[in-house]
Amino acid sequence: MTCPVKLSVNGVNVFLKRKSPGLMIVQGAAGRVFFPPGIMMEVKALACELPIHRGIPLSRFSNADIAREVIKNGIAASISGATVWRWLSADAIKPWQYRSWIFPRDPEFAEKAGIVLDLCHGKWNGLPLDKNDYVISADEKTGVQARNRKGPSISTRPGKSRRMEFEYERRGALAYIAALDVHRAKIFGICEKTTGIIPYRKLVDLVMQQEPYRSADRVFWITDNGSSHRGETSKRRMANWYPNSIQVHTPVHASWLNQIEIFFSIVQRKVLTPNDFTDLKELERRLMSFQKYYEKLAKPFDWKFSKDDLNRILAKLSNKTTESKCLAA
């Protein structure tokens, strides 16, 4: 295959300007421009960079942005956004997409998370829980709104999905405070105007004043670090309320270790989406009714995530943190 003269945008012979033969572009018989592998590698490497690190006032690259930067930096005399897209798609690189990420910053993250994971697997201080021990996972789902739609819904028809009126009137919001018996799939919940120590105490009373928890040897309460149950003070407060109860906190930014969050996600899908309630009373009735409905069908979550799994993830995150610092430097 011969290499015809390739002109740059300003008409200069590219091959005469280039010092490196690896930068040459070859025109194929079918009209498609073929680039050497080295250029493809440089383009993909550029796509993985943050624009701001190159002095470009963008938060993320598009295909067209990358193509312009390639030409500007002399990586290739010309290239289209479509070509960039084809290369990046082959390697599943999408620089215009992003996801939120939180790195664990608690130096005791593994230790605190390990305690929670042990309780999920029926252990405490390395020993199996007794028959008269129970594990409760609790938290608050705040700002649950009652949205009264301004028009009627249209039910599902052949070939058409359910239609929901877009506009609505806000009829207030409440806090759904709930607890899950991890190993028995028993749900307790209350609805309050707001969260706080007093509403949380109501939930604790609801659980601890009935059997088998009232006469249990130990009842472990797994919670996050929300203001209603934060820090060592909450542990002492819980012990004063009920001497057989033990407050256990997840590490900061580790609500995913708290199984009640799984139940809340079920509530969101099954009860609150789509959201159409005439008022807060109807919303509360629906939530309380769902608890009873759920318990008839529910089984304990098949929790397989272990401390070994956690340690592997933390090791990967540690490597990513090191890589990020190196790139930033």
| CA atoms of 218 and 135, how far apart (whole Å) | 9
Residue type, 144: V
| pTM of the entire predicted model | 0.76
| CA atoms of 34 and 74, how far apart (whole Å) | 17
Measure Cα distances from 147 to 153, 172, 183, 194, 273 in Å: 13, 8, 35, 18, 11
Domains of the chain: 14-90 (no CATH), 109-152+166-308 (3.30.420.10)
Per-residue pLDDT tens digits for 33-52: 789 999 999 999 999 999 99
| CA atoms of 16 and 52, how far apart (whole Å) | 33
Per-residue pLDDT tens digits for 145-164: 999 999 988 888 898 898 98
> In sequence order, which residues have a C-beta less than 8 Å from that of residue 24 and are 6 or more positions away?
3, 6, 14, 15, 18, 36
Closest CA to 188 of 180, 176, 199: 180
Per-residue pLDDT tens digits for 248-305: 999 998 888 999 999 999 999 999 999 999 999 999 999 999 999 999 999 999 999 9
